[in-house]
A and B are shown apart, each in its own frame.
Chain A
Amino acid sequence: MSSGISAKPDSSSQPLPPTRLIRWHGRLYAIVGLAVLLVVIGALATTVGSVNIPILTTCKVMVSKLPFVHIAQTWPRSTETIVMDIRLPRVILAGLVGAALAMAGATYQGLFRNPLADPYLIGVSQGASLGAVVGFLLPISWNIMGGVGVIPLFAFIGAIVSAAIVYGLARVGSASPVTTIILAGVALGAFLGSVVSYLLVSSGDKLHGIVFWIMGSFSLSQWSDVRLVLPPVAVGIGVIFLYARPLNVMQLGEEQAQQLGINVERLKLILLTAATLITAAAVSFVGIIGFVGIIIPHIVRLIWGADHRFLLPLSVLTGAIFLILADLIARTVQAPTEIPVGVITALCGAPFFLYLLRRKKRIIF
C-alpha cells in the first residue's frame, strides 16, 4: 500500500549522489584564491602612493622583516620608513576594518534574517559618533595607556554602550525578539544621531575634523592602531566562525531553530556581542565607513551561496580586499588631497553590486 513511497526512484532518471549536492570544493578553492589575492592586493597597495617605490623593492623590504629571512639592504632608509611605518600599517588596518565590517554585516543579516541589516543597524555607529564628538569637544587631549587616543576610546565606549542599551530595551521576559532589537536600534540611533547633529552645529572650528572622522579615514593609521584593533577583531571573528552552522539553522526562523536543538537566545547574545565588539573596534579608530558591511555579504551570497560556513570566511576576505582597494583609490586619485574612504566605498562598490544583481537574476536572500 505504501509502495509509492518506499520504492527507490527509478534509476533511469539518475539521481545525483549526495556528495555532489554540497559543493565544498569550489568554495574552498575560492577561499584559498581570495586569500592569495588579499596578499597580492596588500602588497600592491603598499607600493602605490605619492612616492613611487618599485614593487620589487616593496616586496624585498617586507620580506626582509620576516623572521629567518636575510636580504642585503639595497634600498634607502626613507623607503623603508615609507613602506613599513606609513603604508603597511594603513593597508593592514584597512584590511582589518574591511574584514570586521563585512563579518559583522554578514552576522547581523543572518541573525536578523534581514537583507537590510548592516553593522550599524543597532545604534553602534551613532553611539560611536556621539562618543567621538564628545571626545573632540572635551578640552582634553591626553593619551591613555598604550597610546589610545581619547577619541577612539570614547567612540568605542559609545558604540558598546548604545548596543547594550538597545539589547536591554528589546528584552521581553527571557527573550529578545529580533524585530524589537531592530526597532529599538533604529529609534536609539535616530535619537543619538540628532544629539550628534546638535553638537556638530555648536562645535565651531572643530567641525571639519569631526565631519572628516565621521566619514571615515585611514589617514592617521599607525602600528599602535593595528595592535589595538587586531585582538578584538580576531577574537570576535573567531567566535562567530564557530557558530556558522547554527547560524544556518537560524535562517529557518527562531521556532524551527529551537525545534532543531538550537539555544536561540544564547546564540543571539553571543553573536550580537561578538559582532558589536568587532564593529566597535573597527569604527573607533577609522570612523564610520559605510556600505562595506551591508554589500560585501550580499556580493558573496550572490556568487557563492547562503551557507554561512563559506559566507563568513569569504566575506572576511572580500571585505578586506575591498576596503584596501577603496582606501588605495581614496588616497591616490586626487593626491595629495585625500577623499574620505566612505565616499569611495559606495561610489565604486554600488555600481559593481548593481551589475552583479542584474547579471545573476536569482534569489539572493
Chain B
Amino acid sequence: MLKIEMQNASLGYSRKAVLRDVTFQVLPGEFVGLIGPNGCGKSTIIKTLTRTIPLLGGKILLDGKDVVSIPRRKLARLLGVVPQIQLLPSAFTAFEIVLMGRSPHLDLFQNESQRELDIAWRAMERTMTWHLAKRRVGELSSGEIQCLFIARVLTQETKAILLDEPTANLDIGRQVEILNLIKNLCRENNVAVLAALHDLNLASQYCDRIVLINGGRVHAQGTPSEVITSRNIKEVYGAEGCVYTHPTNGLPAVLINPSNGRVSSMGKAMERNTD
C-alpha cells in the first residue's frame, strides 16, 4: 500500500520549469490517469516521481515520506515504471529483460535464485509473453516489447506502478487486455497506478480519477465525467463538440468530428483576421 502525493511541485529540465504548482495524489488501489496534449509534461511527472530528473520545487511524498530521502534501490521497490522508450539491448533474451525487474530486490553479491526465476516466469504467463521468453529482444515488435515492460514491472513487485503511454504500440485487443490486467492488480493488490494516457476513451473507461495537464499547470482533475467535458476538451485540445456519453456505461466518450476540429477553428480565426 502506497500513497503518492505531489504538493505544489515545479518540474522540468535543467532548472527550467515545464510545469508549476502541480498538486495531486494517488491512493492505494486507485487508478489515476494523466492526460493532456503532446509535450504538456506527462512524462516529466513520471520521471520526476522516480527521481530520474530532479524536482525543482514543492514536494513529492510517498506515504508521507519525502521522495528525496529514499535511497534509489528502496525507491525501485516502491515505484515500478513502464517506460515509453523502446530501445533495448538487443542481444538479451526477453526472459533476461523481464528478470531484470528483480534487480532492486537483490544485493550486490546476490544472483537470481529459483524464486526470482519463478516470479519472472509467472509475470510472463500473466502478460501472455511466455512464448517470447527465449527470443532476443532485437527481434521483437514494439507491441511485444511493451508487453515485456508490463511483465517486468509485475516482476518488480512494487507498491505503485507508473505507466508512460502503456498502450501506445498495442492493437485494440492488447490495449484492453493490458489495461484490464493493470486494473485488476490495482484493485486486488491495492497497487496505486498512475498512467499517462494519450487515448481519452481509454482514460475515461479505466481511470478512477483523471488529471488533465495543459499550459504548464493542472487544468482540471476529478472523475472522468468531471474532467472529460466538452468545455475542457475545447479549452485544451481546441476540438469542439466531440464528447458524448458512452451508450452502455454512461462514461464520457470522445468521438472525432472533423468539421469541428482545431483546423476549422484556426480557419475561422484566419477569416476573422482577413476581415
A residues with a Cβ closer than 8 A to B are 1-2, 4-6, 8-9, 13, 15-19, 21-22, 113, 242-243, 245-246, 248-249, 251-253, 255-256, 258-263, 301, 305-307, 309, 362-365
Contact = CB atoms under 8 A, between A and B. Distances in A.
Contacts of A246: 103, 108
Contacts of A260: 76, 100-101, 103-104, 156
Interface in B102-149: 103-104, 106, 108-109, 111-112, 114, 117-118, 120-121, 125-128, 130-131, 133-134, 136, 138-139
Nearest to A21: B95
B117 A22 contact: yes
A256 B148 CA distance: 14
Given A8-B125, A255-B83, A363-B91, A307 B104 contact: no
B188 to A, nearest CB: 10
A363 B92 CA distance: 9
Given A243-B108, A246-B108, A5 B117 contact: no
> Which of B47, B93, B183 is packed against the most chain A CB atoms within 10 Å?
B93
Interface string B21-59: 000000000000000000000000001001110000000
Contact of B133 (A2, A8, A21): A21
Interface in B201-235: none
B98 to A, nearest CB: 10
A227 B201 CA distance: 70
B50 A5 contact: no
A218 to B, nearest CB: 33
Which 5 A-B residue pairings sit nearest by Cβ, starting from the closest?
A: A261-B76, A261-B104, A251-B89, A306-B91, A261-B73
A1 B183 CA distance: 11
A9 B73 CA distance: 33
Contact of B131 (A9, A252, A256, A307): A9
A362 B77 CA distance: 35
B263 to A, nearest CB: 35
Interface string B76-96: 110111010101111111011
B90 A363 contact: yes
Contacts of A306: 89, 91-92
Given A258-B51, A309-B111, A18 B118 contact: yes
Given A255-B83, A259-B50, A18 B90 contact: no
A4 B172 CA distance: 14
A15 B127 CA distance: 14
B87 A307 contact: no
B89 A252 contact: yes
B106 A245 contact: yes
A261 to B, nearest CB: 3
A1 B176 CA distance: 10
A362 B103 CA distance: 27
Contacts of A249: 100, 103
A307 B96 contact: yes
Nearest to B184: A2
Contacts of A243: 108
Nearest to B120: A18
Contact of B139 (A6, A16, A18, A363): A363
Given A5-B181, A113-B89, A363-B91, A16 B133 contact: yes
A252 B83 CA distance: 11
A136 B248 CA distance: 86
Contacts of A19: 114, 117
Contact of B126 (A6, A301, A365): A6
Contacts of B87: 253
A259 B83 contact: yes
Contacts of A365: 89-91
Nearest to B90: A363
B117 A262 contact: no
> Which of A243, A255, A256 is packed against the most chain B CB atoms within 10 Å?
A256
A355 B52 CA distance: 42
11 contacts: A5-B177, A5-B180, A6-B126, A17-B121, A19-B117, A22-B112, A245-B108, A258-B51, A260-B156, A261-B74, A365-B90
B6 interface: no
A256 B85 contact: yes
B103 A4 contact: no
Contact of A364 (B76, B83, B91, B127): B91
A255 B46 CA distance: 11
B136 to A, nearest CB: 5
Nearest to B96: A307
B89 A4 contact: no
A60 to B, nearest CB: 41
Given A5-B180, A253-B85, A260-B100, 5 more contacts: A18-B95, A260-B101, A260-B104, A260-B156, A309-B111
Contact of A263 (B72, B91, B101): B72
Given A256-B83, A301-B91, A307-B96, A2 B180 contact: yes
A253 B85 CA distance: 9
Contacts of B106: 245
B136 A362 contact: yes
B124 to A, nearest CB: 9
